[in-house]
Amino acid sequence: MVIEISKKAKDYNTNFSIIPQNGLELLYQNIERSNGLDTSYVNAIDGVGVEALHYHKTIVKDNYRQLLLSKLPKEKIVLSSEYVGKDADLLKAKQLNLNKGYIPFIRTQNNLYYKDIPETINTVKDIKKLSDVKNYLYLINPEAYNTKQAYLQALSTTNYDLLLIDLFYNDVPLTQSDVAYLKVKKDGTQRKVIAYMNIGAVENYRYYWKKEWTKKQPSWFKKQYEGYEDEYWVAFWNPEWKQIIYQAKNSYLSKILERNFDGVYLDNVEAYYTLYHN
């Protein structure tokens, strides 16, 4: 599915970036590290996102996922999102990622759901390609902003090299001009703007949700997403779901491409694991 999304997107824009979050086993043939890298998958993506690699409130020793990342080609970026339980761990979490060559975004306790804008160091540099990125903002929950203009202004007055945001504000997609506005940092230099898209779980607040699903769920709804009452893990291979996400003329991906985002961030690619492993 990730490879198919990549092909459609890059046929539209060869410079469009594909960044799946988590599911690092997919980097390997038949999801087994001993089989070596799956070159079809690796060639289809431009980097990976990974959550809680070093911290989830307290320090995490995740040698397994770090081993999986160790074989990722150097030209593929790693966007790392850490969640620290105390401010004293902010710098340590950041440094652990920088030491590995990863690009860190560190959340504190009040930012569990990616809604705040932490301060960042200004690189004063045009970001022409993904490998130029030194920092990024992960903000997919704009509930703190009462209007779209306030939301856009808050984002535009930052100097992050990359913005990872939702396509929508209050269920209305951003416009092409909105995205163009966000591609300029406060200092006047250029940055990348990446759109979030959930490909492993259906969300009942999205434009594609059908009223009849509330009473009777389709057979491709597999199970409730624990901790997220508005989401259900889906059979991601289902033709109806593929149409919604990237195959239909007016698919979710098409909306992102038409607005000239620089790439897409694919969430819940580990659905295969969640559905079939205890």
pLDDT by residue (tens digit) across 163-201? 999 999 999 999 999 999 999 999 999 999 999 999 999
What whole-number distance in Å separates Cα of residue 16 and Cα of residue 24?
21
Residue (of 61, 85, 65, 83) closest to 273 by Cα position: 65
Q: Is the pLDDT at 278 greater than 80, yes or no?
A: no
- 26-37-197 Cα angle (round to 5): 30
Strands (E), the chain: 17-20, 47-59, 77-84, 103-107, 136-139, 162-166, 168-169, 172-173, 192-198, 201-203, 221-224, 231-234, 263-267
**146-149-152-156 Cα dihedral, nearest 10 degrees:** -120
pLDDT by residue (tens digit) across 123-147? 889 999 999 999 999 999 999 999 9
pLDDT by residue (tens digit) across 139-168? 999 999 999 999 999 999 999 999 999 999
As beta bridge partners, residue 79 has: 49, 103
Backbone phi and psi for residue 64, each to the nearest 5 degrees, phi listed first: -65, -55
Mean confidence (pLDDT) of the chain: 95
The mean per-residue pLDDT over the stretch 98-107 comes to: 96
Do residues 252 and 197 lie in contact, with contact meaning Cβ atoms separated by under 8 Å?
yes
What whole-number distance in Å separates Cα of residue 24 and Cα of residue 169?
30
Q: Is the pLDDT at 213 greater than 90, yes or no?
A: yes
Indicate the SS3 state at residue 157. Answer: coil
